[in-house]
A = this chain, B = another copy of it.
């Protein structure tokens, strides 16, 4: 074929950039046939060409530059792949690329979650594509399925295991009875967790992804500030054991739901019934579960991170954008945040709660706590009492569905009871359906 190539520029040549470049090269012939024109990388910008790349991927010297502006202003380049990560300088560069008429492909969840509106407005102003499949779930197809395949549904609920680091840690804690700190150290050794793990273990990463998923699913621009967020650092291996006894597994879930026209948005550890399709998702895997008005329940499962899986998503987006360029149809699927649904305060949430309390080991303690629950209208589903030593006992509680507000009031009162030494854990639980 003598057709004019479509030229790509890559900014940021770390894990994702290298995985994308490698995937493009490995599949060059197939991609050319799918697009109908050759797709070529013309220029790659990175601030440090000396650092080692995953799988030893290298780029030819003539493609290398340290100046991202050279990429985003190159008149031959029509697709800019952003794989810098974070918001600075990614935001300025992506905005400049869009304003200069370049289509953009990115897997930068923080960028899309924090600055989605500004970016989509810039893309729409020039009818360009801004594709971000890799920003959620690594290589798992979820953004395009939501935007196209499931577009004929009203989405009622979306629920995901979208952070592989925490899922690895929780799987270890559950299967090996490892405590959090040790499981985290192991995740760090294996490269699943960063030296500073805050972003993962405190649920920030999952919030970025939920903001993106919920914006599409509920047709409303959701930002990270709209999301109630709790991390997994307070959990102990014994919580996993108790959860199992009660028929649950513990997962860090990102949950979005439409309730009476408002949006419930939260990231926190959750007791999930053992038979739920998401419950079997273990180790570093990710999965996203969606309930739609016509489709019913669907789930998407796969590797949520890594240079090659994310590279797969980036290249899928590049092919899609390139097909649009060839057909003169960039911008054909634009932002779909047509609604402005209100965000429901967490106090209005109705769910079940798992509670682990450390109490004085003497008669009447269980009754005292149960009395508080009764007075606050919280109804109990299960109680497990474990007498540990002669001095303290552990009582594990599982409530029926109740309102967060009532639960919080109960906890406040229970904490003040002289027989109660400590509330060790309070974790929301999904209903057994």
What residues make up the interface of A, taking CB atoms closer than 8 Å to B?
19, 22-24, 26-27, 30-31, 33-34, 133, 139-141, 144-145, 148-154, 219, 277, 280, 292-303, 306, 308-309, 311-316, 318-320, 323-324, 326-329, 331-333, 336, 338
Contact A154 B302 (CB under 8 A): no
Considering the complex, give the chain B residue whose CB is closest to the CB of A290: B302
Cα A319 to Cα B294 with chains together (Å): 15
Contact A295 B277 (CB under 8 A): no
Considering the complex, give the chain B residue whose CB is closest to the CB of A280: B280
Cα A164 to Cα B296 with chains together (Å): 15
Residues in B with CB closer than 8 Å to A141 are 141, 145, 148-150, 298, 300
Contact B295 A303 (CB under 8 A): yes
Contact A295 B302 (CB under 8 A): yes
Known: A139-B298, A299-B302. A311 touches B152 (CB 8 A): yes
Known: A33-B336, A149-B133, A336-B34. A294 touches B323 (CB 8 A): no
Residues in B with CB closer than 8 Å to A295 are 139-140, 302-303, 308-309, 312-313
Nearest CB of chain B from residue A290's CB, rounded to whole Å: 9
Residues in B with CB closer than 8 Å to A26 are 154, 293-294
Q: 17 other contacts beyond A141-B149, A144-B149, A152-B319, with CB at 8 A cut-off?
A: A19-B294, A22-B294, A23-B153, A27-B153, A33-B338, A34-B151, A140-B298, A141-B150, A141-B298, A145-B145, A151-B315, A152-B312, A277-B301, A293-B308, A295-B313, A324-B329, A327-B331
9 residue pairs from A and B, CB less than 8 Å apart: A26-B293, A26-B294, A33-B336, A145-B145, A151-B319, A152-B318, A294-B312, A323-B332, A324-B329
Nearest CB of chain B from residue A138's CB, rounded to whole Å: 8
Nearest CB of chain B from residue A292's CB, rounded to whole Å: 6
Nearest CB of chain B from residue A114's CB, rounded to whole Å: 24
Contact A296 B301 (CB under 8 A): no
Nearest CB of chain B from residue A221's CB, rounded to whole Å: 14
Residues in B with CB closer than 8 Å to A140 are 295, 298
Residues in B with CB closer than 8 Å to A301 are 277, 298-301
